[in-house]
Structure 1
Amino acid sequence: MTLTEEPVKRTWLSAPLPAARLAQDQITSKYPNLRFQVFMGIFIGYAGFYLIRNNIPLIAKVVLDEGWIDKVGVGIIANAVLIAYGFSKFFMATISDRSNARYFMPLGLALSAVVNLAVGLVPALHASVAVFAIVMFVNGWVQGMGWPPSGRVLVHWFSTNERGWKTAIWNTAHNVGGMGVGAAAAAGLSMTGGAWQSAFWFPAIIALGVAALAFFLIRDTPESVGLPPIEEYRHDPAKVEPDHAAEAGMTYWQIVLKHVILNRTMVLLALANVFVYALRYGVLSWTPTYLSEVHKASVTAGIMGFSLFELAGIFGTLACGWVSDTIFKGNRTWTGIAFMAGVGAFLLAYWLSPVGTPYWMLMVYLFFIGAFIYGPVMLIGLQALDMSARHVAGTSAGFTGLFGYVLGATLASTGVGWLVQNFGWGVTFAVLTGCVVASIVLLAMIGPEEKRLIESHRSAAEAHRAARDSNHTWDPAGRATVPPDLSFGAREVTLDRLTDRAPVSFAR
């Protein structure tokens, strides 16, 4: 199948075809409401994925005390989820970009819930480390059906100049879900007298309800419900427009190869993501151990540092989205560099704090490391969406996630432990500081290309506004047709009054 051909056979999962355009008064009333509705759908839905992503660390102490599994086994099971999720986030994105987000996301969440129910209710599925790891690998794989449809919805329902802030808000769903899983697992354990299986099946029941709610709220694209494309609705063209003429005759995988795998910008983003994720998990996963061994903090105090790091991520993500859209005017590269510089500064302060440093000061350093690192975690996925054509946006973000999870996160889980054991904390923090420098260098290499795209986007937006306000011919009813070469396509424009701020309505 080529990009310009209709599929030979459509399925229930296929992306819906455009519906007949609604009347202008319906567009005016429905568009804002549906934007809020679909956003809440992907926010609640993505938080639901975190309820059942990787619950083995929550019950690790219980199963270790039971004696049928050791720490190595717990690590194998936990890494099975990370590795599967990293690969799935990319490969599922290639399917999601051609699928109905309304079906794709709830389906993935429901499948993950079924896997977790099975783990909790079928003893044979956790009878050995190998079987348990295989089952959790499957869970990690269907978990990869959460991010790509969310990215598809964000690209189709929110335009370039607002997407940073909207994506930042959406990205906090994983912090909400991360906090929710602790409460859900604790409730399950309380109801069952501490049976660890309840930390899987009880959150899974909640996740099934969340999947149903997500299905009710999500819609695939504006065009699928009779609304104009978001670029037309907000007079804000995409940074990158697909060249369908040049892609005629190409298969989807040839398009992915061209726009993603062999795309210099996407490769640089993916490599930068390796170092960003290595920092995220390298600091986060080893915070309790570092505070305990070096600063003689209690286990409880170390866990508080872990939680504070995650909490800071909410504030950092929101701040990063706002700064990206408002201060840097959509330049994600410079925003990312600024936040990574913040990571470096507070990482050095955290590392070089002598023994005896007040505990509250160490917590301040950890808070700001978490706040600054979660900005780029969100931002690289957003850059992949922004700097790729819409028909491969999810695949582009999945490609960066593949590198982040499979290389960055898994290497941090094992690599930091190896460095500490063989060379000590000093060398370990030096390597982590090197990761900061490497990520900044890689992001800086993307800067010129993003600057070019931003300038092109700004020129296109000004041209469309000029077309809207000036290039029209009036009829007796006060309607005008905008020339198609100066607009998003031939359409009628009604100006309520002849002023620069006149509200504009469109009817195709």
Structure 2
Amino acid sequence: MELAYQKQNKEKFARYLFRRKIIFIIAFVGYVSAYLVRNNFKLMSSTIMATNGWDKADIAFLLSCLTISYGLAKFYMGALGDRVSLRKLFSISLGASALIAIMIGFFNTSITTLAILLVLCGVVQGALAPASQAMLANYYSNRSRGAAIAGWNISQNAGSALLPLIIVALTSMGLVVPETGNILMAFLVPGILVLLVAYLCWRYGGDSPESEGLDSLRTMYGDAGESNVATEEEREGLSYWQLIWKYVFTNPQLLLVAAVNVALYFLRFGIADWMPIYLNEVGNLSNTQAQLAVSVLEWVAIPGSLVFAWLASKYPNKMAKIGALGLFAMVGFVFLYEKLVSDGVTNYPFFLVICGILGALIYGPQLIVNILTIDFVPLNVAGTAIGFVGLTAYLIGNMGSNWLMPILADQFGWFWSYTVVAFLSAFAAVGYLVLSKTEEKVKVV
């Protein structure tokens, strides 16, 4: 089907392939930029706390304003993306995020003001992941969609790593001086940069090939254009809300994907967020050694995710099985990590290697969630599905790790905290194995 179409429509197909590349660049760079105006408060929170004479509870409250509003917004902003222009939603939300970050730089002496700004930041940021992933889903066929989503997933690691480097550079130039409370440029410079990126997203982003006078994925690729979870006749016979009810809220496969993602978010934040305290208290490592371990975990996640992106390209309808293998391996590495720390980390270089492997096995299998979410729903409700899966992950997985990890550690010891992490890794692996059969059925390549 694809070869016949290419021969008959060479010029149009070439224009589609060019636009597909542009859409990936926009989605990737745009989401990298999202992190440049999302984590500014978190990185500068210690200075803001000291300057205003606040305590840790105040900062925890403010961070929760961002986390909760962001988690909720992923769902309803994702649903909005199914009804409006993805290009406009993405670029406007990104620009609004930049403006809010700049405002935080100017107005950070009032808890009430900061709470309002961080809630607003979470709301507009909630549109960015669903909108950018939906753009990719609309332009990439079954064979290439998994690799595109997997490649896009690295943008969150790149953005998380880039913002601290920008702030370090501004500090070295004397434009940011935390000791005196002079931190405006840590918000203003990234904000202005992201405003420029938002304009490029508005100018060059897209909604779908059809909106640009090109043919649909199914016309170009046949059954391999998009997942076969619903025929065109089935979709046309249902209203938008009926589609959401059938293919999102009561879709067994998507509900299992959401459950797997909850487990993976607990795994991710349970390890990464509690690593500094755990390594200090139990491993007797210095703050510098603990921070280096966290950095290694995040940086190795990038090449680790690239490996999974390559596997997604090579085995486009077998990603669930690959994710399961990675998560079964994760069970063993979680217990090895706990053992090394509880014994006092006598071989620090080897310990850093283990931290790097943890990073690869956290983020690699997690990107598969994004691939399966899009595979298991019709494209016209992809944004809602992405938002729903993200909502459950943040409100149950992330918040659960924030509360359950320290409670278990205080009551029974850190070993049992990480036993729960290992159990959830095994649960997610089994979930992927169950989903692998459906993946091969709906994703013709």
Deviations 1:99-136 (A, max 9, x none): 2222111100011111111111235xx412x4422321
Which residue in the other structure is 1:488 paired with? none
Residue 122 (structure 1) aligned with residue 107 (structure 2): yes
Deviation at 1:244, TM superposition (A): 4.5
SS in 1 for 2:346: coil
Deviation at 1:187, TM superposition (A): 4.1
SS in 2 for 1:238: coil
Residue 52 (structure 1) aligned with residue 52 (structure 2): no
Opposite residue 148 of structure 2, the aligned amino acid is K
SS in 1 for 2:274: helix
Answer yes or no: is the 8 Å Cα contact 1:117–1:204 preserved in 2.
yes
Counterpart CA distance in 1 for 2:160 and 2:250 is: 34
Deviation at 1:391, TM superposition (A): 0.7
| Residues 122 and 57 of structure 1: CA distance in aligned 2, closer, same or farther (over 3 Å) | closer
Counterpart CA distance in 1 for 2:195 and 2:17 is: 28
Q: Which structure has greater helix proportion?
A: 2
Residue ranges of structure 1 left out of the alignment (5+ in a row): 1-22, 459-508
Counterpart CA distance in 2 for 1:443 and 1:241 is: 18
Answer yes or no: is the 8 Å Cα contact 2:142–2:316 preserved in 1.
no
Answer yes or no: is the 8 Å Cα contact 1:382–1:397 preserved in 2.
no
Which residue in the other structure is 1:267 paired with? 255
Which residue in the other structure is 1:198 paired with? 185
Counterpart CA distance in 2 for 1:295 and 1:438 is: 28
Deviation at 1:347, TM superposition (A): 1.0
Answer yes or no: is the 8 Å Cα contact 1:110–1:211 preserved in 2.
yes
Counterpart CA distance in 2 for 1:413 and 1:134 is: 23
| Residues 39 and 248 of structure 1: CA distance in aligned 2, closer, same or farther (over 3 Å) | closer
Structure with max Cα Rg:
1
Deviation at 1:247, TM superposition (A): 4.6
Residue 395 (structure 1) aligned with residue 384 (structure 2): yes
Answer yes or no: is the 8 Å Cα contact 1:186–1:199 preserved in 2.
no
Select the structure with the greater relative contact order (CA < 8 A; seq sep ≥ 6): 2
Kindly report which structure 2 residues correspond to 1:259-338, keeping only aligned pairs within 5 A, or say none.
Answer: 259-326=247-314, 328-338=315-325
Deviations 1:373-432 (A, max 9, x none): 101221101100111111111211211111111111122223222322332211111111
Kindly report which structure 2 residues correspond to 1:346-385, keeping only aligned pairs within 5 A, or say none.
Answer: 346-353=333-340, 354-385=343-374
Runs of 4+ in 1 over 6 A off after TM superposition: none
Answer yes or no: is the 8 Å Cα contact 1:325–1:331 preserved in 2.
no
Counterpart CA distance in 1 for 2:408 and 2:297 is: 22
Kindly report which structure 2 residues correspond to 1:211-290, keeping only aligned pairs within 5 A, or say none.
Answer: 211-235=198-222, 236-240=224-228, 242-248=230-236, 250-290=238-278
Which residue in the other structure is 1:434 paired with? 423
Deviations 1:207-226 (A, max 9, x none): 11111122222122111112
| Residues 67 and 425 of structure 1: CA distance in aligned 2, closer, same or farther (over 3 Å) | farther
Q: What's the C-alpha RMSD, in Å, of the aligned pairs? A: 2.0
Answer yes or no: is the 8 Å Cα contact 1:56–1:77 preserved in 2.
no
Residue ranges of structure 2 left out of the alignment (5+ in a row): 1-7
Counterpart CA distance in 2 for 1:399 and 1:115 is: 25
Deviation at 1:241, TM superposition (A): 5.1
Residue 37 (structure 1) aligned with residue 28 (structure 2): no
Which residue in the other structure is 1:177 paired with? 159
Deviation at 1:325, TM superposition (A): 3.5
Which residue in the other structure is 1:13 paired with? none
Deviation at 1:56, TM superposition (A): 2.4
Counterpart CA distance in 1 for 2:62 and 2:275 is: 21
Answer yes or no: is the 8 Å Cα contact 1:116–1:204 preserved in 2.
yes
Counterpart CA distance in 1 for 2:251 and 2:33 is: 33
Deviations 1:69-128 (A, max 9, x none): 2112212212221221111111111111222222111100011111111111235xx412
Answer yes or no: is the 8 Å Cα contact 2:297–2:355 preserved in 1.
yes
Counterpart CA distance in 1 for 2:371 and 2:16 is: 23
Given the alignment, which residue of 417, 431, 441 partners 1:452?
Answer: 441
Counterpart CA distance in 1 for 2:187 and 2:257 is: 34
Which residue in the other structure is 1:20 paired with? none
Counterpart CA distance in 1 for 2:14 and 2:345 is: 61
Deviations 1:17-68 (A, max 9, x none): xxxxxx9353143222211111111111111101011322211221233352
Counterpart CA distance in 2 for 1:77 and 1:407 is: 19
- Residues 436-445 or 37-46, more deviating: 436-445
Counterpart CA distance in 2 for 1:40 and 1:325 is: 18
Which residue in the other structure is 1:145 paired with? 127
Which residue in the other structure is 2:4 paired with? none
| Residues 250 and 238 of structure 1: CA distance in aligned 2, closer, same or farther (over 3 Å) | closer
Which residue in the other structure is 1:164 paired with? 146
Given the alignment, which residue of 406, 411, 431 partners 1:417?
Answer: 406
SS in 1 for 2:282: helix
Opposite residue 200 of structure 1, the aligned amino acid is F
SS in 2 for 1:172: helix
Answer yes or no: is the 8 Å Cα contact 1:242–1:391 preserved in 2.
no
